[in-house]
Amino acid sequence: MRRNSLILSIIFFRLCFGQEEILSGQFEDFYIDHHKHYYTLDINGTIKKYNSSYQFLSQQNLKIDRDLSYMYVANPMNLLTFYRDQQKIRVYDNFLNVLNLIDLNALALPEIEHIALSFDNQIWAIDGFNKNLYKISLKGKLKYQLENLSNYNIFYDQLYWIKTNEQQIVLSTDQGLYFLDQFGQFIKKIPLTQMVHDIHGQRLIFSENNTYFLYNTKNFSQQALSLPYKEGQKLIMMNNQVFILRKNGVDLYDIK
């Protein structure tokens, strides 16, 4: 979660179809899983889940371990909440019931700075000190670790995010994007040091000079997008749609 979080009203727009108000209220963050469920997080730490038709399904309070660092909703059957300050991970089912609490301190790991759900439904975690990559089961068991990532030609000072993209792991860093296979082995680097907001399949969106760009990681082509620019706010890409979190809502655009 961003430290200076915003109070948001959720409003959806389609670029060609005008404005359509779907959900409204005061929220701090917004998430979408791969089954097109929507999640809104309010200032009290309550997450609310909606189906693809924007009908309310369930809710849960996520500030049980104080400040939430991030929520991972890629797999709606196993949602993860990460509390960096407390070094804890909570695992939820698709009804937002707690399945497990993982105390990373009990695994005697250096401080973990980022996590992601792996392709085989386990947890990737990276520590900020040694820059080791770990795989942890949803039961909280350490499966294995890869030693310092520099041994795999991965160098960075700042890690912005780690995501599972199809069967690959993608690390967004100040030195560019690093792609690893599902076993954590280095595949390639794309030296794109601009702010990368999200990646989905072969495409990603980055911003530069107050403009959003769509970038193809397969043929390295890029095109400018006619999307209103607002710096420092969340962007989610899914298939041919882009959701941009803004001060007064979430804009939904179709892209080709």
pLDDT at 4 (0 to 100): 39
Whether 246 has a pLDDT exceeding 90, the answer reads no
Contact 35, 76 (CB under 8 A): yes
Could you tell me the domains of the chain? 12-192 (2.120.10.30)
The mean per-residue pLDDT over the stretch 60-80 comes to 82
pLDDT at 43 (0 to 100): 79
Whether 15 has a pLDDT exceeding 70, the answer reads no
Collect all residues with Cβ–Cβ distance below 8 Å to 181 and sequence separation of at least 6. Answer: 167, 168, 169, 187
Residue 149, SS3 per DSSP: helix
Whether 7 has a pLDDT exceeding 60, the answer reads no
pLDDT tens-place string over residues 208-217 = 999 999 999 9
Indicate the average pLDDT of the chain.
85
Give the distance from CA 146 to its chain's centroid: 22
Local confidence band at 17 (pLDDT 50, 70, 90 cut-offs): very low
The mean per-residue pLDDT over the stretch 61-76 comes to 80
pLDDT at 173 (0 to 100): 96
Contact 205, 198 (CB under 8 A): yes
